[in-house]
Amino acid sequence: MSRFQNIFTIAVVMSLTPAAQLTPAALTGIHVALPSPAPMFETERRTNPSGHSVSAFQYEWTSKESRDCAVDPTLAATRDIVVTEAGLIRGTASGAAYVFKGIPYAAPPVGDHRWQPPRPAHCWTGVRDATSFGPVCAQVGALPGTTTAWFGNEDCLTLNIWSPMTSPAPEGFPVLVFIHGGGNTRGAGSASVSTSIPSLGPNVQDGRRLAETGPAVVITLNYRLGFLGWLAHPALSKAASTRTSGNYGTMDQVAALQWVRRNIASFGGDPERVLVFGQSAGARDVCTLVASTATRGLFSRAGFISNSCENFPTLTEAETVGEQYAAQLGCAAAPDVPACLRAAPTELAVRTTVVRPPRLQGFQLGPIADGAILIDQPLALFRSPFHRHVPVLISSTANETAFSLFPAYWPGPIATAADYVVAINTLTPSELSSEIQALYPVTNYPTPRAALTELLSDAHLVCPARRTARTFAQWGPPVWRAIWMHTASNGPLRPFGAGHVTDLPYWFDTLWQMPSFVPSASEAALAASMSAYLVAFADTGDPNTASAGGWPRYDETTDAELWLDDTILVASGFRDAFCDFWDTRMPPPGYDATRWRGLGDQRDSSLPLAQRPKIRSGHERRMTLYGPS
């Protein structure tokens, strides 16, 4: 099998009929060689350890053009020219790093390939210029300084790489792959999360400083957004070999990780030490990548910054929204719905939307529990063998909805106490209204907006992050948790306190490019420590280093976490009383421990940790079920 072929391993639960216990060797994946160009599937009935009948299969994307690219490595005479599987690229120096921009990791998903899995990138001849970012993916909104209703391009599946100028050790540099945020509807790997947040500077995720000081190889990428990335529709599902649709953005991210696996050694990176991490919607996407059986062997650590692993729509729910979208496009009654959808101009496909009422735990455009890429809710899968058992870093900001997220969660008025009650009654079940008002009394806050901001921060992001951390700590690999507590000393972000996104320039150490902001000495030191934690975690699976240590491993019995501020503290119990309420009164699907479908060594979470039955480590469990990664 060519090393230039992409392989997904997917386990699809086909029925819940109990069957005999599976022997460990029997869950090894099936290899199916497939013709070019379309993915084909072959399945075989298996049984998972809890007795459910499973159809396990692998599929490959094969492409003669990509597999047989003629690349002359003798042309790579200088460090700024690198050999990739599709051809040579020329980057440029950026400080003490080289940067390679706009590298295609997949072919353009346009025309008949809209709402199809990504295909391998086309070959090119000569040396391709990689000194400019590729087009951002098509999205609603306006670039700063413009008033356009949308911008971008469907031909957008590219990635960017920052590589140290220093020579790597024999094993190579650790690799950090970042999935940008933006609600899965906006943003890019070359711009600051959302183009509507210019306060962060032109590119908060610039990887130069991490590459220089790590040293490490840093990668950012584009993936399809909005309905172009996440449209599920019965007609698309019927036409697909998996009988599912919708997770095209996730497939893009997996294709990018596969490209990294095959090519990153050429940039000095170690394909065995890959951290995939994301912020906001990007963190939600990382939840999918960790929970999915499609990502075997593609990364060795995972990081979640400011999001949760909860409330993923089912295929049925997503297809219902997709039918409404198709109706808006005028395709509902078309004789060939997929053809009608694919014939829509990019602008119309991007600007068409489906209005959904605001609700906690409501529908979110993004990854779908489709039964193929994602076979269940991530929280349920994290209690099972069916996910990537890798070390995990989880971080939240103390006041998540104070900055950019508030309008997304509550677009209505919030000027009076009456407005506050209306918001609570709209967003939450009516039977909880009085309890929520008692827990977050409007009189305890300077304004009704401040009260709702704290409520939404807890319910949407802070408490879900704690649930995710506790789930991993109880059932999986090592976990480290942090809380961003810092308020900027000056500049345009200061009024938003420890809000959503305000921590990202510190993780990337990109304070230098933020406009109208002069970091204090303590803020510069905080950025240096946080970026060091991140690189160390990518390197070893433990964020502690000699220069930036003291971060305790998270445990559900102590809730120990790192509080990130001018002075970094080890603390515990952040918002615990509030999170206890949300955990018990409005738990998400998959959080009930009785839903765990694992190896039969389920533990009683009411017992102290030392008294629980011993559970095998994630590595041991993975070896038992899948064989070596």
Per-residue confidence at 67, pLDDT binned at 50, 70, 90? low
CA dist., res. 42 & res. 56, Å (int): 9
pLDDT for res 203: 87
60: helix, coil or strand?
strand
Per-residue confidence at 293, pLDDT binned at 50, 70, 90? confident
Is the CB of residue 501 less than 8 Å from the CB of residue 181? yes
Residues in the chain: 629
pLDDT for res 623: 25
Rounded mean pLDDT of 8-23?
30
| More confident of the two residues 17 and 524 | 524
pLDDT for res 8: 31
Rounded mean pLDDT of 39-59?
31
Rounded mean pLDDT of 473-485?
92
Q: Please give the domain boundaries of the chain with CATH numbers for all domains.
A: 6-59 (no CATH), 60-187+204-390 (3.40.50.1820), 394-598 (3.40.50.1820)
Handedness of CA 517, 522, 528, 529 (dihedral sign): negative
Mean pLDDT of the chain: 82
| More confident of the two residues 321 and 144 | 321
Report the percent of the chain where pLDDT is more than 90: 64
Per-residue confidence at 605, pLDDT binned at 50, 70, 90? very low
Report for 456-460, 484-488, 582-586, 616-620: range of highest mean pLDDT: 484-488
Per-residue confidence at 522, pLDDT binned at 50, 70, 90? very high
Token digits for 548?
């930036």
Nearest one of 313, 192, 259 to 588, comparing CA atoms: 313
pLDDT for res 320: 94
| Listed range (230-234, 590-594, 613-617) with the worst mean pLDDT | 613-617
CA dist., res. 371 & res. 246, Å (int): 11
| More confident of the two residues 30 and 360 | 360
CA dist., res. 114 & res. 326, Å (int): 14
CA dist., res. 278 & res. 287, Å (int): 9
CA dist., res. 481 & res. 552, Å (int): 9
Position 312 pLDDT exceeds 90: yes
CA dist., res. 215 & res. 213, Å (int): 5
Per-residue confidence at 385, pLDDT binned at 50, 70, 90? confident
Residue range 69-115, pLDDT digits in tens: 888 888 888 889 999 999 999 999 999 999 999 999 999 999 999 99
Report the percent of the chain where pLDDT is more than 70: 80
The active-site residue, picked from 280, 306, 404, 457, is 280
**529 catalytic, yes or no?**
no
Per-residue confidence at 26, pLDDT binned at 50, 70, 90? very low
| Listed range (234-238, 308-312, 564-568) with the worst mean pLDDT | 308-312
pLDDT for res 599: 28
pLDDT for res 359: 63
Rounded mean pLDDT of 596-624?
31
Q: Which helix (H) or strand (E) holds 259?
A: helix 248-263
Rounded mean pLDDT of 23-33?
29
| Listed range (147-151, 205-209, 263-267, 341-345) with the worst mean pLDDT | 147-151
| More confident of the two residues 177 and 77 | 177
Nearest one of 360, 388, 389, 386 to 588, comparing CA atoms: 360
pLDDT for res 358: 62
Token digits for 221?
């990428």
Q: To the nearest 5 percent, what fractions of the chain are helix, strand and coil?
A: 35, 15, 50
| Listed range (134-148, 239-253, 443-457) with the worst mean pLDDT | 134-148
Per-residue confidence at 362, pLDDT binned at 50, 70, 90? low
pLDDT for res 407: 77
Per-residue confidence at 63, pLDDT binned at 50, 70, 90? very low
Is the CB of residue 237 less than 8 Å from the CB of residue 243? yes
Rounded mean pLDDT of 296-303?
96
Residue 197, CA distances (Å) to 35, 194, 516 in order: 45, 6, 14
